[in-house]
Amino acid sequence: MAVHPRMKKAIFLVWLLFVPAGMWFTFQTFPPHFSGEWLDLIAFLTLTSVVAFMPMVINNTPIFLIQWVSLATFLSFGLFIEMVFAQAAVILLLLKLRIRKEQYFRIPLNLIMFFLVSLVSGVVYYSLGGKTGPSLINDTNAIWLAAIYALVNYFLNQVIISFYLFFIYKRKESYFGKDFIVETITTFITLPLGFVLYMSYNQLGLLALLIVAVPFASLSIIFKLYYSSQKINEYLQKAAEIGHQMAERLEVDGVIDLFIQKLSEMLPVDYAYIFDVISEDELQLVRRIQCGTGITIENAKIKNNQGISGNVWKKQKGCLYHSKKDWKPYSKGYLPDDAESVLAVPIVRNKKVIGVLLLASKQKRAYEKSQLMIVDILCSYFAVAIENAKHYEVTKTQSERCALTNLYNYRYFEKILTEEFDKLFHFERKVLSLIILDIDHFKSVNDTYGHQSGNEILCELAARLSNIVGSRGTVARYGGEEFVVLLPEADKEEAYQLAEMIRQSIANWPFILQQSLELKKQQVKITASIGVATAPEDAEDPFALVRHADRALYVGAKRAGRNRVAEYSSC
């Protein structure tokens, strides 16, 4: 969620104008209960720092369980000391999270929030007659007021957070999600620790901090392990779903696009690279995605054991780097300068590395070891899906293409012709033209130069037709020495001109034979007869269009002397 630069400047200005002055006002109005116990203050500050360094992260949101320590600090030393410690805890937490430069505004933003929460909660407590210091242990009324202080502190904190999310971060989704529920439960579970710490401190001294801190640290570690395992389970479920989705894709590009898309949804991915193994010692970059956009890089190749990807390929083991200084010595220069975290994993199929995936983020420490394991699993799914897609594309090509000329075959031509007529009937097309071409006296070419030479002519003619027609239509081998060209949105005049261009390219430029019967290169001149028909002018169904173009070919061109173009005429 991006924050406008002017808003960031305003946040720094608000902090500068109000927080230092407010701290001074608090010191003067509510002086601390402090009589030289520097060791005690250092101990409480140390406990505050430890708690700040152990946040729970849920849905990428750090949950800051500092309230119980703040409560004990407030009751023991007063509002000013609690306020100073809370400010220090915020700074320590943000340092632990390693926020990026563009997010430095979060420091004054959170300092403002904790200052307001501390000030308002403390003023409410003092206004109700509450006091601070070591003399509250046997005062039941003071304990109830402390509970009110804790509740005001928590709910005011939630109000300010929701205000920040809505007005500063422009977040539209509901704030009361899973992380809010978990934070509420854990806060109310840990708040009694604040009362226990306060009372134990007044009776046992600094030993109380150790007695209370150890269970809390254990609780934090348990929570962290629990949510880490839960997060891994969620990743595994997502990985299985992505694997099924990739298996349903039948094109290689579709599999790659889905793979990168899902990875970007799961992880903070600013740059993604997919390398293919093209030889025993060389990788080639086949896809690069930068901030969600695909970029083509020509001739980007890496040797085995060179660069991050080369090392991953050689060792057949993934790697994880938390910052630029860690991977910079191994990089081959294709990673952008603003990349920080890097995760690279080999793509393995049948115990053989067939490629390498490399992900990069602009954030430091963006990836975890558990995510490395998940991406490794996903790469296994990806390898299978890619292989299946390649097999499908080969099978599809073989079923749709002529093995000799690589043009579309008769089966595919019939399919596309039917589809184009459907578009014609539904007014998605205005006109549809068909060209049928037949080589003149092709049997004599085979008899004179051999069938292998005849095949060479068919292949070269196919190439000429593809170059002339280009993207204007579909070229197919109709059978034997016959070819067809289907031209959507081309009227009869346009189709006739294109057919004449094809006829001239055949008649005016000889065909070169490499493997004639005389075992030497030879030039052969051939001609072709061509028929043209157009729908709906000449035909109302696909078969009629073919039949009428064929009639124009044999009646209008062949019988008239060959080497010419003829239009269909019903007369």
pLDDT of residue 133: 75
Catalytic status, residue 481: yes
What percentage of the chain has pLDDT greater than the value 90? 31
Write down the architecture of domain 249-395 according to CATH: 2-Layer Sandwich (3.30)
Under CATH, to which class is 410-567 assigned? alpha beta
Is the pLDDT confidence value at 308 over 80? yes
Beta strands in 471-520 (DSSP E): 474-479, 482-488, 511-513
Domain boundaries, the chain: 5-227, 249-395, 410-567
Among candidate residues 183, 340, 456, 481, the one labeled active-site is 481
- With contact defined as beta carbons under 8 Å apart, do 32 and 73 qualify? no
Q: What is the pLDDT of residues 54-95, one digit of tens each?
A: 766 555 555 667 787 888 888 888 899 999 999 998 888 787
pTM of structure: 0.60
Mean pLDDT confidence for 391-409? 86
Please, are residues 459 and 526 in contact by the beta-carbon 8 Å criterion?
no
* Closest of 374, 373, 382 to residue 348, by C-alpha: 382
Rounded Cα–Cα distance for residues 369 and 374 (Å): 9
Tokens of 410: 């008769």
Q: What dotted CATH number matches 5-227?
A: 1.10.1760
Q: Do domains 249-395 and 410-567 have the same CATH topology?
A: no
Tell me: the pLDDT tens digits for 468-526? Answer: 999 999 999 998 899 999 999 999 999 999 999 999 999 999 998 876 656 667 889 99
Are the C-beta atoms of 464 and 516 separated by less than 8 Å? no
pLDDT in tens, 515-555: 665 666 788 999 999 999 999 999 889 999 999 999 999 99
Tokens 């002086």 label which residue? Answer: 31
